Every structure is written in structure tokens, then in C-alpha cells.
């Protein structure tokens, strides 16, 4: 499929996840076959004010392309300025977040709050689309709540204002991440617009990816929480779609090896102190479902060095052989 002139393999993309989908994780998922990656959301206001962290979040590497920088905000001019500020990172795409349900983001009038202000949303999309030479996409939800399901309207507004694609997370803001995912509305969005539609929500294996394609008619599926501690999920989805093969979950030894490589790269990127602090949550995800996981997760929640992590990983592998 194509977003503008950007070609993307029709398998599965990595969703933008704040505090998780950093450059290191995106590169790992790409190595396992993620067709497309999107950065953590970046505050447009922070970028225009010269905030260092916001600038760092925009950093993309050649090892994760095609890749997008995702920005959020509620002012058309500020959003356009932030999109322009991202261009030195050579993003393939600029993505606009209009789907984040986090209270802090919504309270500031951004994210999913913009689904309550379709006119303003349209102005933001047009402002960004007219300011940058790369395709602009928009991520939305099905609506604010069950009484306000306006994803179709929002997608049509996005298309009319220059968006090259729209991603729909199949839940309302009120649902946050609670089931079920509304595939019917995603299908309605697909029928209502001519631009590509990316479907997101509860895709965590090859079967759920295939089901999402079938039930929505979407152009691409996006994996979020299903990739946490399981970057190989992209390989599994790709294999199933291309050959019909079902790849098994890797053994504990391989899972621990991937975890150690992930955390080592994270520490090299962020420094040992910050890297190990970030490592704890990833380590908990990598060990989910393994024998003795409860006790090991308790130990992993306090690790401070790579040596400690390596020792725990060795014991996990031994106990699960």
C-alpha cells in the first residue's frame, strides 16, 4: 500500500506508544518485520519552545524506515511549525495525534479532545498538510463515547483537508483500552474515504491481524500493546500473510536473548541510569507467561545494572528449558 508516495508492505505497522515506542524499540520491531513505524507523540508546543526532550523524540534512524514523526497539539499554526521542525529528521510521514485518550493530553485540548471539535481538527490538518512536503496522516478513535461515534466524519474531514491516510483505533475515548474493538466503524470509515485506512486495536498475533483485515477491509493493520515484550509478532504476522505459516512463540532462551540485546541497545542510547530504569518495564513484558515469572518480575522491577539483568535472564532460561 502507499501513503502518498511512500510504499509500505501490507503486513503490520508499529503503533506510536508514549514511553514505549522509542527509537531503540522501533528499530528492533523493524528488524522483526514491522512494515512501518511511528514515533512517540511529540508536543508541538514543546517543539516550538525549544524543549530538548521534544526534539529528541523526533529523532528517526535509517534502520526503522519508512517512519513517521507524530505530533500533538490544538493550535493550527503551532502544529505547522512543529511539523516543519521535524523535517531535519527526514520523516517519511508526519502523523497528527487526534486519538490519545490520556487525561493530561485531553485536558489540554489535544489528542482525542479534537474529535469533539471537528472544525478545529480540519484547520490543524490543513495547516500541517500545506506546510510540509511529506504526506500527512491522522490518527483518531471511533469517537468520544458510544453516543458520539464520529470517526467517519473525522476521516472525511481529514481527507478533505489534505491527509494522505487515516488510522482508526477501534475504541472510544471513554473506553481507553478496554474491549471490545469496533471493527464495524473502521469498515465504515474505509467505505467513506478514498485515502488508505489503517486499523488499530487488539491486534496481537497473526490470527487477529488477519481478522482485522477481513472484518474492516483496511489497507494496513497496526500493532500496539501486542508487541510489548514480543517484537517477533511482526515476523509472525508477515509469515502468516505471505505463506500461511504459523510461527510459534520463541523459546525462553531466545526471548531472553532478545531482551538483553534490547536493553543493551537502550542503555547505549540513553545511558546506563536512564536505560536501566526504562529497562524494567520491558523486562517485565519479556517474561510474561514464563515459568516462575511472578518471582522473577519482582526481581526485575529493581534491577540497576546489565550484569544483574544478565544473571536473572540466565536463571529464567534455565528454569524454562
Q: Which residues are catalytic?
A: 100
Give the integer Cα–Cα distance in Å for 178 and 172. Answer: 9
**Which phi-psi region, left, alpha or beta, contains residue 163 (left: φ > 0; alpha: ψ -120 to 50)?**
beta
40: DSSP letter: P
- Cell matching residue 130: 500545506
Phi, psi of 40 (to 5 degrees): -60, 150
Decide if 317 contacts 253 (C-beta within 8 A): yes
Decide if 111 contacts 64 (C-beta within 8 A): no
CA atoms within 13 A on the CB side of 124: 29
Decide if 13 contacts 169 (C-beta within 8 A): no
**Which phi-psi region, left, alpha or beta, contains residue 301 (left: φ > 0; alpha: ψ -120 to 50)?**
alpha
61: DSSP letter: -
Give the integer Cα–Cα distance in Å for 45 and 85. Answer: 11
Amino acid at each position: 500500500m502507499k501513503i502518498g508516495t511512500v510504499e509500505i508492505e501490507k503486513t503490520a505497522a508499529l503503533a506510536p506508544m508514549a514511553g514505549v515506542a522509542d527509537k531503540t524499540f522501533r528499530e528492533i520491531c523493524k528488524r522483526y518485520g514491522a512494515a512501518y513505524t511511528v514515533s512517540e507523540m511529540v508536543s508541538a508546543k514543546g517543539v516550538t519552545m525549544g524543549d530538548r526532550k521534544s526534539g529528541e523524540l523526533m529523532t528517526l534512524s535509517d534502520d526503522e524506515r519508512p517512519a513517521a514523526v507524530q505530533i500533538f497539539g490544538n493550535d493550527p499554526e503551532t502544529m505547522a511549525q512543529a511539523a516543519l521542525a521535524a523535517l531535519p529528521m527526514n520523516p517519511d510521514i508526519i502523523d497528527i495525534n487526534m486519538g490519545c485518550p490520556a487525561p493530561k493530553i485531553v485536558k489540554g485540548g489535544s489528542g482525542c479532545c479534537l474529535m469533539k471539535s471537528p472544525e478545529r481538527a480540519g484547520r490543524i490538518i490543513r495547516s500541517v498538510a500545506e506546510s510540509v512536503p511529506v504526506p500527512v496522516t491522522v490518527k483518531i478513535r471511533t469517537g468520544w463515547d458510544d453516543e458520539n461515534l464520529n470517526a467517519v466524519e473525522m476521516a472525511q474531514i481529514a481527507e478533505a483537508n489534505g491527509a494522505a491516510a487515516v488510522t482508526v483505533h477501534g475504541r472510544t475515548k471513554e473506553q481507553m483500552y478496554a474491549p471490545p474493538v469496533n471493527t464495524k466503524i473502521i469498515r465504515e470509515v474505509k467505505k467513506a474515504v478514498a485515502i488508505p485506512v489503517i486499523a488499530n486495536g487488539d491486534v496481537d498475533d497473526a490470527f487477529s491481524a488477519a481478522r482485522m483485515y477481513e472484518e474492516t477491509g483496511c489497507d494496513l493493520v497496526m500493532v500496539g500493546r501486542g508487541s510489548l515484550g514480543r517484537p517477533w509478532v511482526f515476523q509472525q504476522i508477515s509469515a502468516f500473510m505471505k505463506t500461511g505459516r504459523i510461527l510459534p512463540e520463541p523459546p525462553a532462551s531466545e526471548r531472553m536473548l532478545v531482551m538483553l540485546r534490547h536493553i543493551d541497545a537502550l542503555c547505549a542510547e540513553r545511558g546506563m541510569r536512564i536505560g536501566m530504569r526504562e529497562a524494567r518495564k520491558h523486562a517485565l513484558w519479556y517474561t510474561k507467561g514464563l515459568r516462575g515469572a511472578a518471582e522473577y518480575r519482582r526481581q526485575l522491577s529493581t534491577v540497576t545494572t546489565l550484569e544483574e539483568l544478565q544473571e536473572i535472564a540466565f536463571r529464567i532460561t534455565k528454569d524454562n528449558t
